[in-house]
């Protein structure tokens, strides 16, 4: 199979279902998928903090965690946990609970997100407003890509079910990660 990252990136944007099927067909192991998730999230956090620190007037910084390692750890745990929760919700709605497929697609989705973030960083050098508009457009494109990926991974064959599974799974994962974080922070504050 001849697969280039550039063509896969473009196909992910234009035809995410076909891209997802190609990625799953590669047969990437769970360990490799988790390592890819960790790597891409670390790059995302580095780019995020570089963008944040390059801004002279950052309003959102106090709302976020102050250390990149903490943010990366939470994002890694949340992403991996969300794969299991989405798989669970997918099984309830009649899909396959194939966490390995979900993880490999999450890893590729993170890589695509890093690509979008690099493009946004370059655009921000020209104009902050254009970068914000680009990020808004990318947000909606990424939702479509992610729902298509989950539909393929769970073999639901229904985008509405995939939408429901994705967002209910993400909300449940977010709530459970938030509860764990509040317990950990509570232990350190005692």
Q: What is the pLDDT of residue 180?
A: 84
Q: Is 146's pLDDT higher than 90?
A: yes
Q: What element of type H or E holds 12?
A: helix 5-14
**Backbone CA torsion sign across 117, 26, 83, 41:** negative
Question: Which segments of 26-158 does DSSP mark as H helices, in order?
Answer: 30-54, 68-92, 99-126, 128-154
- CA-CA distance, 50 to 32, in Å (whole number)? 27
Q: What is the pLDDT of residues 71-127, one digit of tens each?
A: 888 889 999 999 999 999 999 888 888 899 999 999 999 999 999 988 988 888 888
**Mean pLDDT of the 5-24 span:** 92
Residue 90: CB atoms within 10 A of its CB come to 28
174-182 average pLDDT score:
85
pLDDT greater than 60 at residue 43: yes
pLDDT over 90 for what percent of the chain? 45
Residue 55 has pLDDT above 70, yes or no: no
pLDDT of residue 32: 94
Max CA pair span of the chain: 56
Write down the pLDDT at residue 65: 55
Distance CA 164, CA 132 (A): 28
Top-confidence residue, 49 or 62: 49
The answer to whether the Cα torsion of 114, 142, 156, 41 is positive or negative is positive
Joined tokens for residue 127: 């104009």
pLDDT in tens, 24-37: 999 999 999 999 99
pLDDT of residue 62: 47
- CB of 117 closer than 8 Å to CB of 44: yes
Task: Provide the terminal-to-terminal Cα distance of the chain, rounded to the nearest Å.
Answer: 56
């Amino acid at each position: 199979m001849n697969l280039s990252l550039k063509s896969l990136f473009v196909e992910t944007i234009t035809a995410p279902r076909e891209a997802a099927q190609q990625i799953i067909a590669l047969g990437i192991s769970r360990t490799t998928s988790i390592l890819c998730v960790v790597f891409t999230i670390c790059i995302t956090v580095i780019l995020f903090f570089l963008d944040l620190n390059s801004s002279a007037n950052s309003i959102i910084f106090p709302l976020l965690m102050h250390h990149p390692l903490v943010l990366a750890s939470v994002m890694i745990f949340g992403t991996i946990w969300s794969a299991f929760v989405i798989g669970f919700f997918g099984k309830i709605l009649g899909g396959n609970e194939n966490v390995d497929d979900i993880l490999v697609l999450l890893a590729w989705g993170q890589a695509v997100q890093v690509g979008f973030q690099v493009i946004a960083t370059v655009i921000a050098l020209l104009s902050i407003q254009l970068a914000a508009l680009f990020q808004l457009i990318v947000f909606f494109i990424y939702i479509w890509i992610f729902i298509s990926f989950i539909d393929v991974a769970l073999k639901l064959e229904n985008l509405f079910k995939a939408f429901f599974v994705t967002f209910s799974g993400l909300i449940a994962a977010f709530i459970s990660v938030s509860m764990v974080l509040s317990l950990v922070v509570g232990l350190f504050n005692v």
